[in-house]
Amino acid sequence: MSGISKWGKGKLGAIMLLSLLLILTGCGQANPTESNQEEGVQVVTTFYPVYDFASQVVGENGTVHLLLDAGQDTHGYEPTPKDLVTIAEADVFVYSSEHMETWVPAVLETLTDTDVLVVEAAEGLDFYENEETEEEHHDHDHEHGEGHSHVIDPHIWLDPVFAKEMVAAIAAGLESVDEENAEQYAENAAAYQEELDQLDQEFHTAFAEASNRTFVVQHAAFGYLARRYELEEVAISSFTSDQEVSPAQMATIGQFIEEHGVSTIYYQDSQSSKLAETLAAETGTELALLSAVEGVTAADQEEGTDYLTLMKDNLGALKQTIR
């Protein structure tokens, strides 16, 4: 299934139209937007992983914009009127999936009178659901029986093989919009996919002979990584970062740590580490960082941090446990 959709001409919603008029009037014709001042294909992305993938494919043939800064809530983000104009004026708008950027479907309804090409990079990939008790969390995507819900894990980019597919979807979109540079986009994508292949092989090699294949994390963001390399993720909290964990749940995880001789608890760089710190203190375990590759700042990027470097850091961290 293609992750690309073209939004045809139609009647623009009154709210969007008002926002456009207010902003464009405020800017004035003598002060065009940043996108209009820049040359080449203009791509707007939602959060860091798709920004990095799109940047690798675009190369020097245009500009890739990032909507969300590091630390902003990707799930509950509310785009500003300026954001809506930026998206509407782009050539391509790229997001991961409606499971991650839950606000995007509402934005797409405002694009019916634009020529922006929309790429859902993870469309068609094999998302999976995790069953939780009602005590663990509420208000998830699909209710299933009394006291339980099925929650779709949105962190699909943390699997290097799925990351390759997301890069391919982005490249296909760019090639269709900018046919003049289509060959360059294809070459850029292929080169980056080779690096993702190497990353995939490094994970396979590192864990091929491991006897302990279980790791404990604060936030359940690494399920796709675990599945790809036949590991088991045990999470203190679930997919939602703001979930409250009961004393009973903490006790259960603590008992698991003691019974299985777990030496390390992993916390996520873009989330509070409070739960992991509490449990580590109670069980005498070490703390280590695993990155979900979401909270990458501009300063981080200037220092050379990107998807590949963070995933290799994750590999090094997991070797403390998976061996």
Largest CA distance in the chain: 69
pTM: 0.85
pLDDT in tens, the chain (323 residues): 457 765 443 334 434 444 453 444 344 333 333 433 478 999 999 999 999 999 999 999 999 999 999 889 898 899 999 999 999 999 999 999 999 999 999 999 999 899 999 999 999 999 998 755 444 444 434 333 343 445 899 999 999 999 999 999 999 999 999 999 999 999 999 999 999 999 999 999 999 999 999 999 998 999 999 999 999 999 987 655 445 678 888 889 999 999 988 999 999 987 778 889 999 999 999 999 999 999 899 999 999 999 999 999 999 999 999 99
Q: For the chain, what are the domain ranges?
A: 4-122+153-196, 209-318
What residue has token string 């499971």? Answer: 99
DSSP string over 246-279: -HHHHHHHHHHHHHHT--EEEEETTS--HHHHHH
- The reply to whether 4-122+153-196 and 209-318 are identical in fold is yes
189's CB contacts (< 8 A; 6+ apart) are 56, 57, 167, 168, 170, 171
Please tell me the CATH code under which domain 4-122+153-196 is placed.
3.40.50.1980
DSSP-derived 3-state class of residue 266: strand
The β-bridge partners of 64 are 43
Closest CA to 249 of 137, 87, 138: 137
Please tell me the CATH code under which domain 209-318 is placed.
3.40.50.1980
The number of C-alpha atoms within 13 Å of 274 and in the hemisphere containing its C-beta is: 6
